Amino acid sequence: MLKLNQAGFVQPPQIQPLSGSIQPHQLVAIVGPNGAGKSTLLQMLSGFRAPEQGDVDFQGRPLAAWSSAELATQRALVSQQSAPVFDWSVMDLVSLGHAVPREVMLTILHWLDIAHLQQRGVQRLSGGERQRVMIARALGQLVTAPVTPCASSMLALSGLLLLDEPTSALDLGQQQRLMRCLRQLSQAQPLAVVCVLHDLNLAARYADQVWLLDQGQCLAMGSPAEVLDVERLSQIYHADLEWSHHADAPLLALKT
């Protein structure tokens, strides 16, 4: 789906030349300390910033060759600055700019536990609720079927969903439910999800691939078990970390 060939930025914020690929049915977590270049990399993956060196291909074509209209149906980005200016209702906002029936958008709102907010003004939502509304709107861009409301139970998505810190304003329960929902969607649909995450435990639990960045360089790329090495993490985060083994999943914690 998305392929990088020694793509990067020479000018600050710098991204060292990076090669890798993202496939449908994958959830990829981009992790690293503050200032590592995670959001800058996400902008390059989305096509909002063209690499100053190397290439990024999307669906077999150079990303730069795609028109904005073409990309709008194949790629959706929710940045940290994605916030509505006007006090539209939730349903009006998530339906804006595409022809997806409202009944279909309601299905997406149910997925994200915000269907009960559909008539509320977005300016009267909490930060976490607004965050999920913007993710719902992005998912609406990637709906490929149905074109009629009566088929909403057979909702299909495809393309690339890019999320910059999607869990930052969510409580613990909502973080878990959102990441579980994104993982289920990526497994069931020809959809790739790329998330910038600060919570390494969420990355370890839900990601298929982890890309670890530090100072603009991708230090490792692979499965959570391969990338989230405790010695490497302790070094780049300047913290004394350890994996604590629990019945359902290991947890990364500070040593006491």
DSSP string, 130-163: HHHHHHHHHHHHTEEE-SSGGGGGG-EE-EEEEE
Q: Please report which residue ranges of 53-101 form alpha helices under DSSP H.
A: 68-72, 90-95
Picking from 30, 39, 43, the residue whose alpha carbon sits closest to that of residue 227 is: 30
Per-residue model confidence (pLDDT) at position 247: 66
Q: What is the pLDDT of residues 128-171, one digit of tens each?
A: 999 999 999 999 999 986 555 444 456 789 999 999 999 999 99
Picking from 180, 195, 189, 135, the residue whose alpha carbon sits closest to that of residue 158 is: 189
Q: What are phi and psi of 202, to 5 degrees?
A: -65, -40
State how far Cα 123 lies from the chain centre.
23
What percent of the chain is predicted at pLDDT more than 70? 94
More confidently predicted of 116 and 80: 116
Indicate the domain borders of the chain.
Answer: 1-74+158-228, 83-155
Cα distance between residue 112 and residue 102, in whole Å: 15
pTM of the predicted model as reported, rounded to 2 decimal places: 0.92
The answer, yes or no, to whether residue 248 has pLDDT greater than 80, is no
In this prediction, residue 244 has a pLDDT band, given cuts at 50, 70 and 90, of confident
The CATH label, of 3.40.250.10, 3.40.50.1110, 3.40.50.2300, 3.40.50.300, for the domain at 1-74+158-228 is 3.40.50.300
Per-residue model confidence (pLDDT) at position 146: 57
Q: What is the pLDDT of residues 4-55, one digit of tens each?
A: 999 999 988 899 999 999 999 999 999 999 999 999 999 999 999 999 999 9
The answer, yes or no, to whether residue 95 has pLDDT greater than 50, is yes
